[in-house]
Amino acid sequence: MMALAERKVKELFARADIKINGTRPWDIQVHNPALYSRVLAASSLGLGEAYMDGWWDCKALDQFFFHITRVNLGAHVTPSVKLALEVLKAKVLNLQSKSRAFIVGEKHYDIGNDLYAAMLDKRLTYTCGYWKNAKTLDAAQEAKLDLVCRKLRLKPGQRVLDIGCGWGSFAKYAAEKYKVHVTGITISKEQMKLARKLCVGLPVDIILQDYRDVQGEFDHIVSLGMFEHVGPKNYRTYMEVAHRCLKDDGLFLLHTIGSSTPAPKSEPWMDKYIFPGGVLPSPGEISRAVEWLFTIEDWHNFGAYYDKTLLAWFSNFNKHWPELKKNYDERFYRMWKYYLLSCAGGFRSRYNQLWQIVLSKNGVVGGYQSVR
């Protein structure tokens, strides 16, 4: 039975030009032969958990996942009964309901500000950097924040809603550089506390709140890396909230990771260990959600830059691990490494995308001039 499982997994990996115990950086080294049956039984979840348990290693995980996602290897794996039931549950139930909205905050964003301070840029920006003319992570994140401000055409005194404000990097930047008032909402208690501290003295309000509870009217709305937590059953509700809160002549910039094809739920390992309830939207899902509400003025894809961003985050995380490991164990290190480098490979292969979409309620008179 073990030999059959090994043969099947070897044949599967061969589709992606990956060899078991090979010598190339993207080949994997197997330490526990039970890996093969575990992968066949639990697919990507089994593969990720086996890595966390030390059952296999790879010199370059990002290259390994580049090869896997470039050929969409997951499409060649027959899902288990358990996985099929999970997908069915996601199609029937609203796994991102209001009652579940704060779970990802507790499970991911609240795990430790020390971790994120060590990993991210100096402004604590947990979204893709804009590397067009940047050489460093700090410069790439500054460029991204300024790009957003220019796309929104911010003017002094305007009121901006930031849905999913994180640690307040955009709010602080926009308030300092463009003299606007920003109301940021987050579902993370730790983000809220630190964001308030970082934005002291600025016209910035940070609120612990689900997007469905937002009230008020704003000149512009921005959402950087939050839409991935909304879920397909709530896309229309999300857009209706944004439409209600945006002034008639305002702009709404949606910055989100996306996928070329729709999926009812996240990849199982990522859903269990990193972003519970996270789902990547497809272009069609976004387009349908904005119908009769918004005009799509601009759609900018710079997903290839997320590869560089994730590699920079991993470099920082790895460099600071000697200090971080007093609060996190070795299994966490392997989990976090797997998360960052698997995502880097996915963006490098263009399996995953990063979009900035500019929306208006009534269409910009004369047309919207794209900013790059």
Do the beta carbons of residue 162 and residue 127 sit within 8 Å?
no
b/e code 99-131 from CB counts within 10 Å (16+ = b): eebbbbbeebbbbebebbebbbbebbbbbbbbb
Distance separating alpha carbons of residues 83 and 42, to the nearest angstrom: 8
pLDDT (0 to 100) of residue 3: 86
Q: Is 216 left (phi over 0), alpha (psi -120 to 50) or beta?
A: left
- Mean pLDDT, rounded, for 84-89: 53
- Mean pLDDT, rounded, for 272-288: 96
Q: Which amino acid is at 268?
A: P
- CA distances (Å), origin 228, targets 127, 258, 320: 12, 8, 28
pLDDT (0 to 100) of residue 101: 64
- Mean pLDDT, rounded, for 13-20: 97
Which pLDDT band, with edges at 50, 70 and 90, does 78 fall under? low
**pLDDT of 85 above 90:** no
Average pLDDT, the chain: 93
pLDDT (0 to 100) of residue 107: 86
- Mean pLDDT, rounded, for 206-230: 97
Which pLDDT band, with edges at 50, 70 and 90, does 39 fall under? very high
pLDDT (0 to 100) of residue 296: 98
Distance separating alpha carbons of residues 306 and 257, to the nearest angstrom: 9
Give the lowest-confidence range in 13-17, 101-105, 127-131, 250-254: 101-105
Which pLDDT band, with edges at 50, 70 and 90, does 92 fall under? low
pLDDT tens digits for range 293-345: 999 999 999 999 999 999 999 999 999 999 999 999 999 999 999 999 999 99
pLDDT (0 to 100) of residue 262: 87
pLDDT tens digits for range 222-271: 999 999 999 999 999 999 999 999 999 999 999 999 999 888 667 899 99
**pLDDT of 84 above 60:** no
Distance separating alpha carbons of residues 159 and 13, to the nearest angstrom: 52
Please give the angle made by the CA atoms of 304, 228 and 108, to the nearest 5 degrees. Answer: 100
**pLDDT of 83 above 60:** no
DSSP string, 3-32: HHHHHHHHHHHHTTT--BT-SSTTSEEES-
Distance separating alpha carbons of residues 118 and 115, to the nearest angstrom: 5
CATH node for 100-360? 3.40.50.150
Do the beta carbons of residue 357 and residue 253 sit within 8 Å?
yes
Distance separating alpha carbons of residues 293 and 362, to the nearest angstrom: 8
Q: In which residue ranges of the chain is CATH 3.40.50.150 found?
A: 100-360
pLDDT (0 to 100) of residue 145: 98
Beta bridge partners of 217: none
Do the beta carbons of residue 220 and residue 154 sit within 8 Å?
yes
Do the beta carbons of residue 181 and residue 204 sit within 8 Å?
yes
Q: Which of 58, 149, 199, 343 is catalytic?
A: 343
Q: Which residues, in sequence order, are CB contacts of 266 under 8 Å at separation 6+?
A: 275, 277, 278, 279, 280
Give the helix/strand (H/E) hosting 36: helix 35-52
- Mean pLDDT, rounded, for 47-74: 96
Distance separating alpha carbons of residues 24 and 21, to the nearest angstrom: 9
β-pair type (181-186, 218-224): unpaired
Distance separating alpha carbons of residues 211 and 86, to the nearest angstrom: 26
Do the beta carbons of residue 57 and residue 28 sit within 8 Å?
yes
Catalytic site includes residue 343: yes
Do the beta carbons of residue 343 and residue 280 sit within 8 Å?
no
Own/partner contacts of 17-20, CB < 8 Å, gap of 24 or more, are 17/67, 18/64, 18/67, 18/68
Closest among 99, 120, 282 to 191, alpha carbons compared: 120
pLDDT (0 to 100) of residue 102: 78
Q: Where are the beta strands (DSSP E) in the chain?
A: 28-30, 56-58, 159-163, 181-186, 204-208, 218-224, 246-259, 295-301, 352-360
* For the chain, percent of residues with pLDDT exceeding 70: 92
